[in-house]
Amino acid sequence: MYTKQNLMDNMATMNIDPHGALLIHLSYKAIGETENRAETVLDAFVEYMKPGLLVLPSHTWRNVNNENPVMDILHTPSCVGICTELFRRRPGIQRSLHPTHSVAALGKDAEEFIAGEEKMQTPCGKGGVYYKLWERNAQILLIGVNFSRSTFIHGVEEWDGAIGSISEEKTELYVINRDGGRLYTPQYRHCSSLGSRTFVKLEPEALSQGVMTISRFGNATARLVRAKPIRTLAAKFLAEDPQYLMWH
């Protein structure tokens, strides 16, 4: 059974910078048995990253759509795992005002980090939180999941000329903020029939070039990348073929 300290030691072994910015995607089940279950996993993240900025997705793309066009920042659950849902409910968490791809952030300048997401009209628009992660050269940690769960690469698609990843038609969506105000947040949405499953194509090159390292977090395989070099790598393939991430 893993303790909070065990998991923090794993993060230290990976050379995660506690003073920087860290985005985590994870499969809780892959980690194995922990004291106090998912809360211990979150406690490890929070304590380790206390001097820096901790970011988890709190996406709602599965349950916000034409039939249900409103995302309530306080009440609409995350659709990307139990840890993300528990994290976004914690006291002091800042959740961004994006209707489908919100994130939950804690720590250094978290409120500034999430500001302006209600102005984005795509999932990972330039100037939004995923772009800010690139600007900060944040570390991106994938625990028990592979690149197919890396939303940041969707950002690279948007910023670096991918063809066919974003819809041509706009979906009329809204966000309810913390004060109960209703904001109009229309979206051009992800539309690839393969979604992000093709992103694993980048892994062999990322590993061979030293852009990605592989470690352990509990029982799970943990992949760690930095935002700037992984964008550079993906952008190189998109420059050669703008539909590179559209096919297996």
**Each residue's pLDDT expressed in tens, for the chain with a length of 248 residues:** 999 999 999 999 999 999 999 999 999 999 999 998 999 999 999 999 999 999 999 999 999 999 999 999 999 999 999 999 999 999 999 999 999 999 999 999 999 999 999 999 999 999 999 999 999 999 999 999 999 999 999 999 999 999 999 999 999 999 999 999 999 999 999 998 788 999 999 999 999 999 999 999 999 999 999 999 999 999 999 999 999 998 86
Task: Decide: 95 and 129 in contact? Cβ < 8 Å.
Answer: no
Question: Looking at residue 192, what is its pLDDT?
Answer: 84
Whole-angstrom distance, CA of residue 82 vs CA of residue 58: 10
Whole-angstrom distance, CA of residue 88 vs CA of residue 110: 13
Encoded tokens for 207: 């590993």
Task: Decide: 71 and 181 in contact? Cβ < 8 Å.
Answer: no
Backbone phi and psi for residue 59, each to the nearest 5 degrees, phi listed first:
-60, 150
Strands, E, within the chain: which ranges?
21-26, 53-57, 70-72, 94-95, 103-107, 139-143, 166-171, 174-176, 182-184, 187-190, 212-217, 220-226
Question: Looking at residue 81, what is its pLDDT?
Answer: 96
Distances (CA, A) of 5 to 16, 138, 141, 168, 218: 15, 23, 18, 48, 11
Tens digit of pLDDT for each residue in 137-159? Answer: 999 999 999 999 999 999 999 99
